[in-house]
Amino acid sequence: MNKLNTECNLTNETIDKLQTLIRYNIDSYNGFAESAEKIDHNGLTRLFNELASERSAMATELQNYVEWNDEDAVEEGTIKAKLHRIWLDIRGKLNGGDPQVILEEAERGEDAIKAAYEQVLEDVSETPLNDVLVEQYARVKAGHDKVRDLRDSYKQN
């Protein structure tokens, strides 16, 4: 597929879907970055920082496609995610920063971004951005699975 088609011929519907994914990636970045600051566990801090960095890069990539189509890309996440992070903060404090609690909440956020990608992929599968979105979804799913597996390992301890 020619790069110009991918960058400059997206429908308004596709751009709206990209804006949704940008918001979810920003939410995920914020959630992981805040969790990395709050948890006192080197391995989880490192993982959360890596996932935050990855989600930031994914948001930027999608923002570029929106802007190449002469639209303003969103730069903030959702109110719902802000409330979720407040809940995470309260829950973490009540549980003394228990890694399992933080992993449970992180996995809940991962469920949301994974579902958003699945919906968008279903809705816009025939667009020039399909390959980009499939690749990003694979990274989201891998992050989700890491967080889920760590959460489950803490349940067993």
- For the cut 80, the answer to whether the pLDDT of residue 3 exceeds it is no
Three-state secondary structure string covering 1-22: CCHHHHHHCCCHHHHHHHHHHH
97 backbone dihedrals φ, ψ, rounded to 5°? 70, 25
The string of pLDDT tens digits covering residues 40-50 is 788 899 999 99
Q: What is the CATH number of the domain that holds 50?
A: 1.20.1260.10
Q: What does the block give as tokens for 83? A: 């409330």
Prediction pTM value = 0.85
The string of pLDDT tens digits covering residues 49-93 is 999 999 999 999 999 999 999 999 988 765 665 555 555 665 555
The number of domains in the chain is 1
Which structural domain, as residue segments, surrounds residue 36?
3-156
* Helix 42-68 / helix 99-123 crossing angle, nearest 10 deg: 20
